[in-house]
Amino acid sequence: MDKESSISSVQFAVLMYMFSVGTAALIQPHLMVLLAGQDAWFTLVIAMIIQLALASLYMSLAYRFPNETIIEYSRKIVGPYLGTIVSCIYLLYYLMLGGYIIRVVSDFIGSVILIQTPLDALSLTFLIPALYGVFLGLGVIGKAAQILLPVALGVFILTALLLIPKAQFSNLLPVFPNGIMPSIKGTYPVLGFPLMESAIALMLFKFVKDKKKTKKLFYIGIVASPLTSLLITAYTIMVLGVDMTARAPYVVYDMAKEIHVERILERMEAIVGIIWMSTTFVKMSLCLYVCTLATVQIFKVTSYRYLLIPLVFLLLPLSLWVANNTTEVEEFNRDVYTIYTLLPGLFIPVLLLVIARIRGMRGISEQKQNQNE
Amino acid sequence: MYIWIGIIIAAVITGILEWKSLLQQGKTKDLVVALSILTLGTTLYLFLLFEVPMPTLSQLLSKGIEPLYKPVARWIMEDIDNG
């Protein structure tokens, strides 16, 4: 492991938090409120519990093979042929996820800020900084995330403070008018996007330097993400009400439009966009990094840097190909994505953990790995 | 409007530069993998550019796992008025 690609436990937790918040907090409140109404906040309480269970699964597997990625140890656990199939599933999953993230953000910018700008241009604008970040290494992405997190949180807190006069707690009432079922149903889209996406930790854990502290920090980072979404969703309902939240696709952006401080402070929505730009940068960089890493490990390429630019030229058309329009992306997120994510996010990790436990398999120690290298 | 011209030219230049540099520094495998990815991406981009009739990735995946997600999606949306 070289210096450029190693990250600290804190950086790992920050990366996982920003990856998990990513684009989800931008579009998920709308979907959850559509399904669960004013009880959407409770959906995220359930999501937090599920996220903790998933995090515990990923950490069990990652600590068993601390110096390998899931691509490397899946070949050991299930054999080279099945292992290659598992690796390809992960590669395709993160390629597709990369395409979706770029598409969601480009759609968002193209429909509310830079109207009439071609999608290709918007996608490229997002891809180029991510490409440069990945070129410099995971350590640099980790440091960038540490810088961007306070900026994003600062904007988030400022927006929340400025919207206090508009927030009406009564919008969250009555609690559970149709029982608890709508909240449970609302969890379905959240399960895939973003809860099970955190399986990316299985690719990145290898690069953490101080692994003893990682578990605790990972749990904090990963649970903070649904907590952030909970706050955003509750706030959105309080400011805009249930009907408006269920109708608007980029509800957080619409919420920011409500900020008026006399005539001094208006049109704050573009500043709120900073939150999504920063979290999306981290998410896209990690997706590109993982795609490159997976390709390198599957095809045994000498350096990941050889594949970076070709992968950008694949991700760009992929982001255009994923769907014809925003509605199709939304329907896919709501209905299909969770089922699709079950394989890389739940079934494969569970299967690998069970087989590794039965066969008593453990990964190579760092010392041994250094000797081999 | 003509951003696609820039993208295609950039892809071709990248291909030529990768070819040259990987022939000198990398292994044949590196070259093959890098150029395959580049070709795949550029071909897909050209397909989209010339509006070749093909389903989107979302449509493909939805069709592929339709028996699995349809019952769940129906259950999720059963009480939604405007769904």
Contact: B7, A295; criterion CB under 8 Å: no
The C-alpha angle A141, A73, A314, rounded to 5 degrees, equals: 50
% chain A with pLDDT above 90: 45
Q: List the 5-64 stretch of B: residues with Cβ below 8 A of A.
A: 7, 10-11, 14, 18, 22, 26-27, 29-30, 33-35, 37-38, 40-42, 44-45, 47-48, 56-59, 61-62
Is the predicted pLDDT of residue A350 greater than 80, yes or no?
yes
Contact by Cβ (8 Å): A339, B66: no
Residue range A268-293, pLDDT digits in tens: 777 887 788 888 899 999 999 999 99
What single-letter amino acid sits at A116?
Q
Long-range contacts of A161-168 (CB under 8 A, 24+ apart): A162/A259, A162/A261, A162/A265, A162/A268, A163/A235, A163/A239, A163/A255, A163/A258, A163/A259, A166/A239, A166/A258, A167/A235, A167/A238, A167/A239, A168/A238, A168/A239, A168/A241
Give the pLDDT mean for A160-184.
87
CATH number, domain containing residue A70: 1.20.1740.10
What is the predicted ipTM? 0.90
Size of interface A-B (CB pairs under 8 A): 128
- Please tell me the predicted confidence (pLDDT) of residue A369: 58
Is the predicted pLDDT of residue B83 greater than 50, yes or no?
no
Phi, psi angles (nearest 5°) of residue A32: -65, -40
Is the predicted pLDDT of residue A371 greater than 60, yes or no?
no
Distance from CA of A75 to the nearest CA of B (A): 20
* CA distance to A109, A122, A151, A176, A287, per residue, from A203 (Å): 30, 28, 27, 39, 10
Q: Considering only alpha carbons, which residue of chain B is nearest residue A187?
A: B76
Residue range A64-120, pLDDT digits in tens: 999 899 999 999 999 999 999 999 999 999 999 999 999 988 888 888 888 888 888
Residue A234 CB contacts under 8 Å (≥ 6 apart), including other chains: A40, A41, A172
Residue range A173-223, pLDDT digits in tens: 888 888 888 889 889 888 888 889 999 999 999 999 888 889 999 999 999
Q: How many domains does chain A have?
A: 1
Give residue A132's Cα distance to chain centre: 20
Tally Cβ neighbours within 10 Å of residue A300: 11
Residue range A12-64, pLDDT digits in tens: 999 999 998 877 777 788 888 888 888 888 999 999 999 999 999 999 999 99
Chain B interface mutation, best of A116, A188, A292, A306, highest count of B Cβ atoms under 10 Å: A306
CA distance linking residue A304 with residue A300, whole number of Å: 10
Can you give the residue range of the structural domain that contains A215? 3-372
Computed over every residue of chain A, the mean pLDDT equals: 88
Residues of A near B (CB-CB distance < 8 A)? 34-35, 96, 99, 118, 120-121, 124, 178, 182, 185, 188, 246, 295, 299-303, 306-307, 309-311, 313-318, 320-324, 328-329, 331-332, 334-336, 338-340
Give the pLDDT mean for B10-36.
87
% chain A with pLDDT above 70: 97
Residues of B in contact with A184 (CB under 8 A): none
pTM of the model: 0.92
A364: left (phi over 0), alpha (psi -120 to 50) or beta: beta
Which of B35, B72, B80 minimises the CB distance to A34? B80
Residue range A222-265, pLDDT digits in tens: 999 889 888 888 888 998 888 888 888 888 888 888 888 777 77
- Please tell me the predicted confidence (pLDDT) of residue A168: 87
Distance from CA of A308 to the nearest CA of B (A): 9
Contact: B57, A182; criterion CB under 8 Å: no
Is the predicted pLDDT of residue A142 greater than 90, yes or no?
yes
Chain B interface mutation, best of A321, A328, A333, highest count of B Cβ atoms under 10 Å: A321
CA distance linking residue A345 with residue A33, whole number of Å: 24
A208 or A372, higher pLDDT: A208
Contact: B37, A295; criterion CB under 8 Å: yes
Contact: B37, A118; criterion CB under 8 Å: no
